[in-house]
């Protein structure tokens, strides 16, 4: 296996270090004295770029099997690596649904075959995402994919008894239920955040209370049965408040926020361009600020992309006819830098926590989110925080083009990504044919 | 202004210009030869994705009185019902050389998508989109109000106008709130709280839940159609209770000022939001609204499609 010496990396404490990678593991981190085994290493000078543990996404739609027109495990893996990720979590709403050991193993193997990131399948909570009967959670947990995160994402597990049983059942193997918090009765045909703008535009509103009511119910259920609960894509100030309260009570709840909800507001719907149509919807500036504060103080544990690729015909249409969702793997780190680091809310060590350590811990992805120290698996991301780039949807590695950030100038460029000791990105470009055995 | 997508596209002077032009058009319609050669050789498409015989024939009459060629493209019986996208339809019409597309669509924002997308270079006129806007309806309402209460000149300052009923789902209400307040009128929205949109306090209008207390102060009362399906969605308990509190009837007619007029964008549910006695009373201008619709739409087509220069030599388009 090739050895790599990453030179002039900036650690999150601000110190500059060289990092020696060999046999998929970090062998040495230091500055002054170089160990002997450096001699035959390939040198990668990252020129002061910040070293982060490889990013981990807990919420990714890779669309395979079933919707390979919008994304495949391979194209999504390439997009993830480009964005600095070394692990993604493939959501269960595929065709067929990932509700059996067979489907999750297929997705897991496709990820291994692609070889750009670890693809950890998320299993469906209920059969066919229908919310009625539990899927075979144990079989998925015991499968080769070793599923620990279960979600009906796209649908809310609305029946409180089904939710209770799911929360209880996954304790058997340390699993977690990731809830898409959306009361379906309060959000029939909803198109965007319910507020001043939806009222003006005549688009059916998706009220904050539909999210908050489910979060409140589920933290109480998780408390009652002593289980782990994860709240997907929190979007409301009220949701942050409820989670903060739950954590103060010692309830085992974690939560995620997407990059787009950290930056964009429902104001973007004004031109009816469905590239801004997403579920849960873009909210108000007040919500955006509450989400940023929640992420900074740890109420919200992680950033997750909710990368949701769609073919262009699903967005080149009227708002109501358009699909919900945005791609986000290649822009996530830049959006976090823009909204959280440059605003002074968090430091780069917090970025490492919110985008790698914490999601790896929630997903039980033991080879990820490790500190940059000798002995850790060499999953690493190097970001040139002083650089900037202009988002061009036609240059995305994702098979889809539905980025809401097209044309924006964003800070921070991923210059190198190492996945299990091998580079997937060098000099800001994907390394072709990357394959980790 | 290249398109007419929303009442908020209009400036004060543009809105007045349309009303003044409509007044000239009305004189044409009243004359012995109801036709002008202005749009001869121009092609105007009525692209209707939603049933609306009234609005379609109003635009058709307006276009024909300006000598335009009119093509009616309705979603029923066209390729749209077979699943063709708005984009393909727009490109097809573009290829056929449509100068203007008058679009009625059940999706809010569809006209704006058509105008912004680059799928067509035609002038786009919104003939009602979802629960968003219906700008020509607001223009014809303003025209009707001005004719009766301002002797047909100037703006609507000093007038108080109540819009009553299902504000939440009404594109007519949205366009009217914007346009009537732009023209200086005071607008009062009267509805049960369930039929007012969230954040309505931010609109340039007053809000009331009580029709009886509003009626003595208004110069015009505009009754909105209540869709039958609203009753199944818990917006109000029964049709009878709705009529009791928000319907215009003979008793309420007596509360109005002698000069006040009664309006309705149609089609009416007689007996629900308005009784026959009110609809057919001498105060009612409902039938006249229809005639004014043709004049206003002629004015909009004339100003947007012909690119008629104004007194300063500048085109409104």
Is B316 part of any domain?
no
CB A5 within 8 A of CB A26: no
- Give the nearest chain A residue to B84 (CA atoms): A317
pLDDT at A437: 44
Q: Measured between CA atoms, how close is A366 to chain B, in angstroms? A: 47
Residues of B numbered 79-118 whose beta carbons fall under 8 angstroms of chain A's beta carbons: which are they?
85-87, 105-110, 112-113, 116-117
Same domain, B140 and B104: no
Same domain, B220 and B231: yes
Nearest to B198 among A194, A202, A316 (CB): A194
Whose CA is closest to B48, among B57, B39, B40, B35? Answer: B57
- Give the nearest chain B residue to A312 (CA atoms): B87
Lowest model confidence (mean pLDDT) among A56-60, A100-104, B158-162, B238-242 = B238-242
CB atoms within 10 A of CB B307: 12
Is B239 part of any domain?
yes
Q: Does B122 touch chain A (CB under 8 A)?
A: no
Same domain, B109 and B230: no
Residue with structure tokens 């105060």? B283
* Mean pLDDT for the stretch of residues B36-42: 95
Is B255 part of any domain?
yes
CB A246 within 8 A of CB A228: no
Decide if pLDDT at B315 tops 60.
no
Residues A199, B131: Cα–Cα separation, whole Å: 9
Q: What domain range includes position B149? A: 135-286
Q: Classify residue B295 as exposed, middle or buried by CB count within 10 Å of its CB (0-12, 13-18, 19+).
A: buried
CB A16 within 8 A of CB A9: yes
Q: A4-51+375-398+409-430 domain in CATH 2.30.40.10?
A: yes
A421: left (phi over 0), alpha (psi -120 to 50) or beta: left
A181: left (phi over 0), alpha (psi -120 to 50) or beta: beta
CB A351 within 8 A of CB A341: yes
pLDDT at B76: 63
pLDDT digits (tens, 9 = 90+) for A205-215: 999 999 999 99
Decide if pLDDT at B136 tops 50.
yes
Whose CA is closest to A322, among A312, A308, A335, A333? Answer: A312
Q: What is the DSSP string of B168-191?
A: TT-HHHHHHHHHHHHTT-EEEEE-
CATH of the domain at B118: 3.40.50.1370
pLDDT at A90: 98
pLDDT digits (tens, 9 = 90+) for A162-177: 999 999 999 999 999 9
CB contact under 8 A, B198 and A205: yes
Q: Between helices A101-114 and A73-82, what is the axis angle to 10°?
A: 50
CB A50 within 8 A of CB A44: no
Residues B188, B161: Cα–Cα separation, whole Å: 6
CB contact under 8 A, B112 and A207: no
Cis amide leading into B267 (omega within 30)? yes
Whose CA is closest to A410, among A301, A299, A321, A330? Answer: A330
CB A144 within 8 A of CB A108: yes
The highest-level CATH class for domain A52-363 is: alpha beta
Is B199 part of any domain?
yes
Residues A307, A312: Cα–Cα separation, whole Å: 15
Same domain, B264 and B144: yes
Reported as a pLDDT band with limits 50, 70 and 90, residue B79 is low
Reported as a pLDDT band with limits 50, 70 and 90, residue B31 is confident
R_g over Cα of chain A: 21
pLDDT at B311: 43
pLDDT digits (tens, 9 = 90+) for B5-24: 999 999 999 999 999 999 99
Q: Does B157 touch chain A (CB under 8 A)?
A: no
Decide if pLDDT at A268 tops 80.
yes
pLDDT digits (tens, 9 = 90+) for A39-48: 789 999 999 9
The A-side interface with B (CB below 8 A) comprises 191, 194-196, 198-205, 207, 271-273, 313, 316-321
Indicate which of A191, A192, A272 best probes the interface with B, i.e. most B CBs within 10 Å of its own CB: A272
Is B19 part of any domain?
yes
Q: Which two tokens stand for residue B54?
A: 């009234």
Q: Which two tokens stand for residue B70?
A: 């009119």
- Torsion, Cα of B123, B128, B133, B138 (10° steps): 90
- Torsion, Cα of B153, B154, B158, B162 (10° steps): 70
CB contact under 8 A, B85 and A198: no
Residues in chain B closer than 8 A to A321 (CB atoms) = 86, 107
* Mean pLDDT for the stretch of residues A353-370: 98
Residues B70, B43: Cα–Cα separation, whole Å: 6
pLDDT at B52: 85
pLDDT at A177: 98
Decide if pLDDT at A37 tops 90.
no
Q: Which two tokens stand for residue B14?
A: 């543009």
Same domain, B106 and B228: no
Residues A368, A376: Cα–Cα separation, whole Å: 9
Same domain, B193 and B114: no
Collapsing DSSP to helix, strand or coil, A93 comes out as coil
Same domain, B119 and B16: yes
Same domain, B275 and B300: no
* A328-350 residues labelled b (16+ CB within 10 A) or e (exposed): bbbbbbbbbbbbbbeeeebebeb
Give chain A's mean pLDDT: 96
| pTM of this structure | 0.95
- Give the nearest chain B residue to A318 (CA atoms): B110
**The complex's ipTM?**
0.93
* Mean pLDDT for the stretch of residues B13-40: 93
* Mean pLDDT for the stretch of residues B241-263: 97
pLDDT at B80: 56
Residues in chain B closer than 8 A to A316 (CB atoms) = 85, 87, 117
pLDDT digits (tens, 9 = 90+) for A293-351: 999 999 999 999 999 999 999 999 999 999 999 999 999 999 999 999 999 999 999 99
Residues A222, B287: Cα–Cα separation, whole Å: 62
pLDDT at A435: 56
Q: Measured between CA atoms, how close is B162 to chain A, in angstroms? A: 19
pLDDT at A77: 98
Indicate which of B111, B113, B175, B191 best probes the interface with A, i.e. most A CBs within 10 Å of its own CB: B113
Q: Which two tokens stand for residue B307?
A: 């690119």
Residues B173, B134: Cα–Cα separation, whole Å: 8
Q: Which two tokens stand for residue B188?
A: 């009062």
- Give the nearest chain B residue to A316 (CA atoms): B87
Identify which has the larger pLDDT, B78 or B229: B229
**Residues of A taking part in catalysis:** 306
Nearest to B109 among A199, A316, A319 (CB): A319
pLDDT at B313: 43
DSSP summary character for residue B306: S
Decide if pLDDT at B203 tops 70.
yes
Q: Which two tokens stand for residue A310?
A: 């769609």
Total structural domains in chain B? 2
Residues in chain B closer than 8 A to A207 (CB atoms) = 198
Residues in chain B closer than 8 A to A199 (CB atoms) = 197-200
pLDDT at A407: 98
Q: Does B57 touch chain A (CB under 8 A)?
A: no
pLDDT at B235: 93
Nearest to B116 among A271, A313, A317 (CB): A271
pLDDT at B232: 76
% of chain A surpassing 90 pLDDT: 96
Decide if pLDDT at B56 tops 60.
yes
Residues in chain A closer than 8 A to B202 (CB atoms) = 196
* Mean pLDDT for the stretch of residues B292-297: 97
pLDDT at A75: 98
Residues B56, B98: Cα–Cα separation, whole Å: 17
Decide if pLDDT at B314 tops 90.
no
Give chain B's mean pLDDT: 92
Whether the CA torsion A414, A416, A420, A422 is positive or negative: it is positive
Q: Which two tokens stand for residue A219?
A: 């933290």
CB contact under 8 A, A320 and B116: no
CB contact under 8 A, A201 and B109: yes
* Mean pLDDT for the stretch of residues B145-173: 97
Same domain, B73 and B174: no
Is B312 part of any domain?
no
pLDDT at B242: 95
Nearest to B112 among A198, A272, A320 (CB): A272
pLDDT digits (tens, 9 = 90+) for A106-159: 999 999 999 999 999 999 999 999 999 999 999 999 999 999 999 999 999 999
Domain locations along chain A = 4-51+375-398+409-430, 52-363
Residues in chain A closer than 8 A to B133 (CB atoms) = 202
Same domain, B129 and B217: no
pLDDT at B312: 47
CB atoms within 10 A of CB B311: 6
Is B29 part of any domain?
yes
Q: Between helices B135-149 and B171-182, what is the axis angle to 10°?
A: 50
CB atoms within 10 A of CB A247: 17
pLDDT at A361: 98
pLDDT at B308: 47
* B19-32 residues labelled b (16+ CB within 10 A) or e (exposed): bbbbbebbebbeee
């Amino acid at each position: 296996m090739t050895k790599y010496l990453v030179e002039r990396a900036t650690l999150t404490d601000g110190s500059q270090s060289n990092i020696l990678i060999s046999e998929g593991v970090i062998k040495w981190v230091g500055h002054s004295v170089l160990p002997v085994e450096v001699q035959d290493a390939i040198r990668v000078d990252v020129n002061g770029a910040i070293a982060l543990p490889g990013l981990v996404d807990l919420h990714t739609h890779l669309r395979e099997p079933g919707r390979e027109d919008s994304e495949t495990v391979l194209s999504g893996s390439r997009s993830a690596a480009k964005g600095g990720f070394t692990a993604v979590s493939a959501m269960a709403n595929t065709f067929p649904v990932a509700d059996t050991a067979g489907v999750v193993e297929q997705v897991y193997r496709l990820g291994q075959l692609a070889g750009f990131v670890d693809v950890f399948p998320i299993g469906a909570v209920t059969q066919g995402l229908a919310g009625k009967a539990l899927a075979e959670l144990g079989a998925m947990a015991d499968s080769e994919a070793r599923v620990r995160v279960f979600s009906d994402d796209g649908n809310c597990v609305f029946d409180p008894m089904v939710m209770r049983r799911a929360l209880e059942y996954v304790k058997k193997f340390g699993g977690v239920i990731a809830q898409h918090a959306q009361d379906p009765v309060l959000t029939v045909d909803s198109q965007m955040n319910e507020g001043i703008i939806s009222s003006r535009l005549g688009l059916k509103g998706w009220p904050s209370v539909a999210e908050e009511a489910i979060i409140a119910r589920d933290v109480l259920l998780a408390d009652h049965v002593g289980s782990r609960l994860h709240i997907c894509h929190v979007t409301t100030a009220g949701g942050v408040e409820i989670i903060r309260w739950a954590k103060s009570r010692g309830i085992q709840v974690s939560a995620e926020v997407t990059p787009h909800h950290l930056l964009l507001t429902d104001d973007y719907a004004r031109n009816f361009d469905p590239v801004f149509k997403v579920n849960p919807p873009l909210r108000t500036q007040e919500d955006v600020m509450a989400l940023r504060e929640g992420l900074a103080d740890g109420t919200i544990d992680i950033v997750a992309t909710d990368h949701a690729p769609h073919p262009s015909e699903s967005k080149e249409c009227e708002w109501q006819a358009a699909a919900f969702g945005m791609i986000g793997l290649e822009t996530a780190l830049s959006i976090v830098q823009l909204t959280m680091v440059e605003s002074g809310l968090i430091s780069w060590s917090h970025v490492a926590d919110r985008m790698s350590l914490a999601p790896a811990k929630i997903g039980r992805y033991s080879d990820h989110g490790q500190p940059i120290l000798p002995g850790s698996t060499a999953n690493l991301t190097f970001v040139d925080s002083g650089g900037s780039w202009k988002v061009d949807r036609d240059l995305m590695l994702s098979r889809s083009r539905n980025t809401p950030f097209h044309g924006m100038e964003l800070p921070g460029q991923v210059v190198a990504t190492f996945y299990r000791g091998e580079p997937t990105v060098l000099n800001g470009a994907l390394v072709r044919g990357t394959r980790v055995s | 202004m290249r398109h007419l997508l929303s009442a908020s596209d209009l400036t004060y002077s543009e809105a007045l210009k349309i009303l003044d032009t409509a007044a000239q058009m009305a004189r044409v319609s009243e004359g012995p030869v109801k036709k002008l050669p202005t749009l001869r050789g121009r092609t105007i498409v009525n692209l209707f994705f939603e049933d609306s015989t009234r609005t379609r024939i109003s635009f058709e009459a307006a276009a024909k009185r300006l000598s335009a060629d009119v093509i009616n493209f309705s979603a029923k019986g066209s390729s749209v019902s077979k699943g063709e996208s708005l984009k393909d339809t727009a490109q097809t019409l573009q290829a056929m050389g449509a100068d203007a597309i008058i679009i009625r669509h059940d999706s809010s924002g569809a006209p704006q998508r058509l105008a912004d997308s680059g799928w067509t270079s035609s002038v786009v006129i919104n003939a009602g989109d979802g629960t968003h806007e219906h700008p020509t309806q607001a223009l014809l309402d303003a025209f009707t109000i001005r004719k009766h209460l301002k002797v047909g000149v100037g703006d609507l300052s000093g007038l108080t106008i109540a819009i009553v009923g299902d504000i939440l789902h009404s594109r007519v209400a949205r366009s009217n709130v914007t346009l009537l307040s732009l023209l200086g009128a005071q607008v009062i929205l009267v509805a049960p709280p369930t039929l007012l949109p969230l954040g309505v306090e931010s609109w340039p209008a007053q809000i009331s839940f009580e029709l009886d207390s509003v009626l003595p102060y208004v110069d015009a009362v505009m009754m909105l159609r209540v869709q039958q399906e609203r009753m199944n969605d818990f917006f109000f308990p029964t049709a009878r209770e709705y009529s009791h509190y928000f319907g215009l009837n003979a008793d309420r007619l007596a509360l109005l000022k002698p000069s006040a007029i009664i309006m309705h964008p149609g089609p009416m549910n007689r007996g629900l939001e308005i009784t026959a006695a009110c609809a057919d009373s001498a105060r009612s201008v409902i039938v006249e609204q229809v005639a004014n619709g043709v004049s206003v739409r002629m004015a909009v087509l004339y100003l947007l499609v012909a690119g008629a220069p104004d007194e300063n030599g500048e085109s409104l388009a």
